[in-house]
Every structure is written in C-alpha cells, then in structure tokens.
Structure 1
Amino acid sequence: MSVIRSAGLRGFRATVAELGGDAEQFATACGLPIAALDADDMLVPDQAVAAVLELAAHRLGCPDLGLRIARRQDLDMLGPLALAIRNSPTLADVVECSSRYLFLHARSLSLILEPDPYGDRGVIALRYGVQPGYPTPIQGTDLGLAFVHRTIQRLVDDRYGLRSVELPYRPEAPIQTYEELFGAPVRVDRPAAILRVPSSLATRALSGGDENLHRLAMAFLAEQSGGANASIVPQVRAAVQQLLGTAPPEIGTVARLLTAHPRTLQRRLAIEGTSFATILDTARRDAARRYLTTTDMPMSQIASLIGLSEQSTFTRCTQRWWAATPTAIRREGTHGRP
C-alpha cells in the first residue's frame, strides 16, 4: 500500500463545505480518518485520498473539484521539500529536488523534466502523475497539475510562458474551466499529464532564494530519505545536526524545516519522552567530543561550531557532560590515539 501525507487534503474540507457537502462523511465512506482533514503529517493511503476526491466530486456534482482545491493549497504543504524548492537557484533545481524527494510527501507521485512530446526544441515537458502501475485519478491529477502550475507562477511569474496542458483523460468539466485556470490550451486523451513550458525556463534564476537554506533543506531531505519514520525525534535530531556550525540551532529554525509550529514540535517531542533542549544538548555533546578528540581546532572555534557564543559557556558544558575541562578531554583523546 502506498501512502501520502495528509497535507495533500489541505483545502478539501473548506471546498466541500462551500459546495454544501460534509467532508467528514466523505472521509468516513472512503476509510480516511477524520483527523486527516485537518492535519498535515498523518500518513494515509493514497488510494483513499484519490477515492475521497472522486466521491466528493461525483456526489456534489462538481467535476472541477480538484482544480478548486488546488486554489486553496500552497507550497508549505510539501513540508521540508517546500523549503528546498523556495530556495532553489533555478527551476531545473526545483524539479531536480522535487523528483528526488517528492516520494517523502507521496510515495506514488513523480515530477519529471523531459523532452517535448511534439519535438519542439524550444519547449520542455514537465510530466506529473502517478508512477507506472497505478491508475490515474482524474481529480487527484487535476489537483496536482494545477498545484504545480500555481507553484511555478509563484516562483517565476504568473505569465511564465506555458505552451499547453496535456491531460491523460477526457474530463467531465468544461475544457474552458481548465484553460481559464492554466491560461493556455488544454489537450485531452494524451499519454501523460504534462505542462509544456519554454526550455529557457529551466535555467532561469529564481529570486529571493537562500543558498544556505537550500543546502540545509537538501541535506535534511537526504537524511530522511532512508525511510519513513513515525517518530519525530530522528527528524529533529537530523535537522539539529545539519544546523550545527551553519545556522543557529534554534527550535524555530528546526520547526521551519519540519513546517511545524514550535509549540506543536515541543508537544510531539514530549509525547515521545524527550525535548528539543535534550536533543540539542546531546548533539552538541557528541559534536564537541568529536572535535576535541580528532582535531586541533581552538576551543573558541569548537564552541562556535556547536552553537555556543562564548568559550566559557563551552567549558561549563564540558564540566556538566564529563566533569572535566575541554583541555582534559582533548588530552585524554590524544593519549588514546594510535
């Protein structure tokens, strides 16, 4: 069974209510926990998400439901991937990190940059959709393709030169509805869901990005890509380890990486029997011992690398950790080397 983060349902409850329906009733009918309608980090079956979109569209007589929900969604729903995307230097980098780590949001989805299916050298194809072997859900694909389109608009420009939209089905909603949202011709019954964009767009520099944040986000995503874990502790630990020596290891920064409110993050850690302060302290202790016993760095530099502003604070920490001074720990490590 493939899963998707419940963030993919953002906007579903509000859109259904606007149409006079009961989102919770639809969720229950499709086997989705009601809590998934209001949470971002629950892992739910992607087939159930596709089913609830189709059911609601049918029952409410709203064949463009996916497009409507897409208007309510934003990049933040992608969690840490959103931070990497926002700080990518070019659109090609956006697609590269999305294609590499989109599975952390939804296991069966993919986003790939490939040659234009019509052979136009000035055009490239941005193909979105489920991986081979999965059925293509109309509402889910509408939602995802519209989300990608709106994301490019926010990153580049409202008029980024979209040439056409290719749909792998014939939707029940009027084609005009699609063309009004995308601002480009829409073709149906095509081999795949594709946005055809100018090839020059791939190398166009994106403004407002932060190279350091992009690097941190990519490193964090790489750390998490080894497998999904319901525990938040490994994610916080990985984020803290990436931040040490590069940015202030503050809970607000880590919460931003995880797209969670700091108080929510503290609550989840407390449930697992720990705290942000404990995780940070352990990370500092481990890094300090490594630097003291394997390098000749000055004490002031080590203090800075583990996020401490003063060497005296570093000394107090080593006294608490090992009942010894930094110099004594270094001497002990040096004596123990071969």
Structure 2
Amino acid sequence: MLGTGPPFGLLPPTRPFVNSRHLPSPLPPWPQARVARPYAQAALDELAACGVAAPVPEADTLPVADYLALLNLGRAQAGEDFGWRVGARMRTASFVAYGHAVLSCPRFDDAIALTQRFEGLAHDLGRSELLIDGAQAHYRWHSPWLAAHPCPALPESVMSGILAFATWLAQRPLPVLALAFPHAAPCRDLREAIDQRLGLRVVYDAPVTSATVPAALLHEPIPTADPALFPLLEQHAAQQLAAREQALRATDARTALAAQVQRCIAERLAHDGARLAEVADVLGLSARTLQRRLAEAGTPFQGLLDATRRELALQYLRDPALSMTEIAFLLGYAEQSSFNHACRGWFGEAPGRVRMGLG
C-alpha cells in the first residue's frame, strides 16, 4: 500500500517549485512527436505477455500516434488495467539517458527537476510540472494530445511508471496522498481493486493527471545517489537532448521552407509564375539552392507543385460557380485536358465525378 490521504479536490493557489536553471523540454508539433523505443518497450512487452499481436517498430522511435494506438489496442484486448501494467514494467532503461542520472541524483527534488529537463528524451507524450502548496507537493502531468486522441491507458501508464520508479528510488513505500486522472473511471471491480492496492480513493474526470505527496519527501536523500557519477550522466543526457533539439530545429526549418514554397506556388499558379525559378526568386534564393534544400528535406519542387494543385483542386471543385475550364486555368493548366488527366491521377476519377462526390 502506497499510502492514504484526504480526497483529491480543487487545489488552492500554488507556486511553481523550481529546482533547475533549465526549462522543461518543449513538446514538438504532433507530426514530429515521438516515443523512444526503450520507453515503448514496456507496452510491447505487455502486449506480448497478453498474447496480443501488434506491429513491432523497427526504428529507434515511433510516432506518438502509433504508441497511443498500441495502448488503446492493449486496453481493448487485454483489459482496462493495461496502462497500469505497462507502467509497472518501466525500468531505468525505459527513461533512456536520464534514467541512470536520476538514480545518481542527491535528492528527490533534484530527480524531479532532472525529469522535467530531460523527459523529451524518452517521449513527447506530455510534460511534468511540480507545484508546492504548503506541506503538500503536487506532481502534475500534462498531455495536449488526449483531447483529440483519447487514451485512458496513457496517463495511467505514465503515473504508474513514475510511482513504481520513485518507490524503487526511495527503497520504501511512498506516502501518496492523492491521485487523479482526466478520464472516466474504469469498471467498479477494477476501480475498487486499484483503490485497495494504492490505499486511497483515486479520482477520475479530474482537470489533469496528478499525484500528491508530502512536500517533505522532496528533500529526502536518494539511497543510490552518486555525487561523482552524477555530473557525467547529466552531461551525457544534456548532449543527447541538444542533439535531439537540433534535429527538431532542422526539421522545423525544412517544414517551414516547404510551406513557404507551397504558398508561393498557390499565389502564382493562375499567372503562370509557379515555376521553380520564379518561386526561388521570390524567396531570395537561386533556383539551384532552392532545389537542393527541398531535395534535402525530401520535398522536391515538383512534388510540392502537384500537392498544391491537388489541394486547390478539391477547394475549387466544391465551388459550383467555377467551371472546369476556370478551375484548370486557376491551377495553371493551359488546357482542360491536362487538368482532367491530373485529376484522374489524384482521385481516380474525372473532375465532374469528383465534384459530384464532394456534394
């Protein structure tokens, strides 16, 4: 039993607890959000243990969307407590480079600050926050993805993993005073079993995922602390985080360039100015430089031109006031037959049939 405490309610005004000069690593946009394979391994292992067939990623990371799909698959086929079981499987290696650094931290507040700083090395599922309110400390975990991509197993697996790892760090049961999740409660039998195991009444439909512990716990020493090893492990984690952030910035720059090119193409299609040289001139680049940068980003100019025309074609076909000849002109085609051919390539049908399907 982890501990007992008062029911979770609305928290009074709080102040942030700051124990690091470094801000938490920001979350990237949804298309770039990833989960490291070591962190995802706990879910893959639990799926395998339950006999649930699931695709095994070959890359070092997998998109957050794919990871959420794994969790939802497990919850649907292996039980509502799947997220709790995944969290119980978390080990030091699950947290990538900073897991071992946490083991060497002097105190628990140092460990939380380190987690906030390096959480992005393990995943982009959400970010941690610590608030102090008198004698209580509130560890909150925020995920911006859950509104559009519901996944009750996600916050349960995250909090279960954190509590299991923290208990192991302390080498004794932790006095958890309250625990809350933003999703609906599980079935009655499972809810009672979880409450009994934790020794408290878990709250559901809460504003945010949260665990409350005595603030004094933050100042307790970590038995595995290693003052000599800690700086080296922290430096190693910092190097990995810097490399990841650099890669994300490069991806952002490539994405921004592609978006600029598509905007230029869309503005110039009807004026016969959507050629590589004209677009490059607008962006202040040589045609050769633009072509090289787009190739490095994996978005060649011809592909962006085609994608822009396709998107605009759907937009124009929804407008009954535009004739097919006018749409062909707006898309930069000299003849309607060229538009008809392109439309069949995009949608497998002639423009008129596509318009009918768009209603």
Q: Assess if the C-alpha contact under 8 Å between 2:132 and 2:215 holds in 1.
A: no
Kindly indicate whether residue 138 of structure 2 is the aligned counterpart of residue 125 of structure 1: yes
1:209 aligned partner: 225
Letter in 1 for 2:93: D
Q: Assess if the C-alpha contact under 8 Å between 1:146 and 1:182 holds in 2.
A: no
Matched ranges for 1:5-20 at <5 A: 5-20=36-51
Structure 1 alignment gaps of length 5 or more: 28-33, 232-338
Q: Assess if the C-alpha contact under 8 Å between 2:43 and 2:70 holds in 1.
A: no
CA distance in 2, matches of 1:124, 1:178: 22
Q: Assess if the C-alpha contact under 8 Å between 1:166 and 1:193 holds in 2.
A: yes
Deviation at 1:17, TM superposition (A): 3.6
Q: Secondary structure at the match of 1:227?
A: helix
CA distance in 2, matches of 1:158, 1:19: 29
CA distance in 1, matches of 2:157, 2:165: 12
Sequence identity (%): 15
Matched ranges for 1:151-162 at <5 A: 151-162=165-176
CA distance in 1, matches of 2:51, 2:117: 39
Residue by residue, what CA displacement relative to the aligned partner does 1:159-189 show, whole Å, maximum 9, x if unpaired?
2211011111113243223224433321111
Matched ranges for 1:1-80 at <5 A: 1=31, 2-22=33-53, 24=54, 27=55, 34-36=56-58, 42-60=60-78, 62-80=79-97
Residue by residue, what CA displacement relative to the aligned partner does 1:93-136 show, whole Å, maximum 9, x if unpaired?
001010011011112421221135xxxx2111011232478656
Q: Secondary structure at the match of 1:187?
A: coil
Kindly indicate whether residue 99 of structure 2 is the aligned counterpart of residue 89 of structure 1: no
CA distance in 2, matches of 1:143, 1:43: 18
> Cα distance 1:75–1:58, how it changes in 2: closer, same or farther (>3 A)?
same
Letter in 2 for 1:122: A
Residue by residue, what CA displacement relative to the aligned partner does 1:203-226 show, whole Å, maximum 9, x if unpaired?
111112111211111112222222
Look at both structures and tell me which one has the larger radius of gyration over its CA atoms: 2
Deviation beyond 6 Å, 4+ runs, structure 1: none
Matched ranges for 1:119-198 at <5 A: 121-131=134-144, 135=148, 137-173=151-187, 174-198=190-214
Q: Assess if the C-alpha contact under 8 Å between 2:169 and 2:224 holds in 1.
A: no
The alignment of Structure 1 onto Structure 2 pairs a total of residues equal to 213
Structure 2 alignment gaps of length 5 or more: 1-30, 248-359
TM superposition score normalised by structure 1: 0.58
Q: Assess if the C-alpha contact under 8 Å between 1:149 and 1:182 holds in 2.
A: no
- Of residues 157-166 and 140-149 in structure 1, the stretch that sits farther from structure 2 once superposed is 157-166
> Cα distance 1:20–1:230, how it changes in 2: closer, same or farther (>3 A)?
farther
Letter in 2 for 1:106: H
Q: Assess if the C-alpha contact under 8 Å between 1:83 and 1:213 holds in 2.
A: no
Structure showing greater relative contact order (alpha-carbon pairs closer than 8 Å, 6 or more residues apart): 2
> Cα distance 1:142–1:35, how it changes in 2: closer, same or farther (>3 A)?
same
Q: Secondary structure at the match of 2:228?
A: helix
Deviation at 1:5, TM superposition (A): 0.2
Residue by residue, what CA displacement relative to the aligned partner does 1:130-167 show, whole Å, maximum 9, x if unpaired?
24786563111111100000011011143221101111
TM superposition score normalised by structure 2: 0.55
Q: Secondary structure at the match of 2:35?
A: strand
Deviation at 1:35, TM superposition (A): 3.8
> Cα distance 1:221–1:14, how it changes in 2: closer, same or farther (>3 A)?
closer
